[in-house]
Structure 1
Amino acid sequence: MGLVTEEVRAKAEKYSGDEICREKTKTFLKEISMPNGLLPLKDIEEVGYDRESGVVWLKQKQSITHKFAEIDKLVSYGTEVTAVVETGKIKKLTGVKAKELLIWVTINEIYTEDPPTKGKITFKTPTTLSRTFPVSAFTVPEEEPAKEEPAKEKSSEATEVKEADAIKEAVAIKEA
């Protein structure tokens, strides 16, 4: 991890554990105006982000290959992914490769056009070759909190009220 020095690690926000790391990854992507599905990593062990220098790192248990169905592209994510980020740009990217024809090509820069949410996203290689795709290909619908829970609470409260009324009636009948 050439970008992630001890100094950077000391200043960075660090998170451990898959669930919190996935959440923080989506939050940081949104913060830099990148699509939330750009890093579909699994079994993430650690995420770190030094806002001052823009250095980000992600560690996962094993490398994965993900297919972005909308554009029919395979992308490989190594066990360690590092980058320097700023709004609309990911630079000095390591640990990410895309399959072009029969070979895996290293991706070292990603940037979006204005406005990023409706435009295009471009991926560059160290040889300056690039490919542009719609941002929508890397956007995952946000999960909304389940709205059934409050309804269940209300129905159980209603059941409790009915049961209490039934008990009051039974007590009133016994007393009469």
Structure 2
Amino acid sequence: MTWTDPATWYANLPAFHAAAGALITDPAGNVLLVKPTYRDHWAFPGGYVEEAEYPHQACTREVREELGLVVAAGDLLVVDWAPAAGQRPRALIHFTFDCGTLDSLEGIDLPRQELEDAAFFSLEEVGQRLPVNVAPRAGAAIQARARQVPVYLANGAAVSA
């Protein structure tokens, strides 16, 4: 048996992107979404994981940068694996963390060059604002929060073991 040099072996493994998002709800259970200036659709607060950063740290950083809020990334609620698509040449693994409940949007400070709006929406409204493959994360995150068990999705579809 021939062993491959570790540097060569690792260099030939598939690469993917990682992102982290926050499930933040209001007391009625509505989900907080943000409207980026550079997309046609809404999104969870969050973004890409930077080099040498853990996903939960990325979630906390992104919520601070996007909303001006200091939150702790709580329980992992959803892991969603999405294949390469559109202009994204690599697969994406998205982590959704429980970042709690907000009574109102008072005190939110949006970076206007990046986000044009933030609002709470019912699950039905969330489904109308998020991309089709992303929308299932909201219901899965609410379910995971209630059951205290993370949910695994494959391109937005539930996967059962």
TM-score, structure 2 as length reference: 0.24
TM-score, structure 1 as length reference: 0.23
Structure with a larger share of its residues in helix: 1
The higher relative CO (CA closer than 8 Å, separation ≥ 6) is in 2
- Largest Rg, 1 or 2: 1
Structure with a larger share of its residues in strand: 1
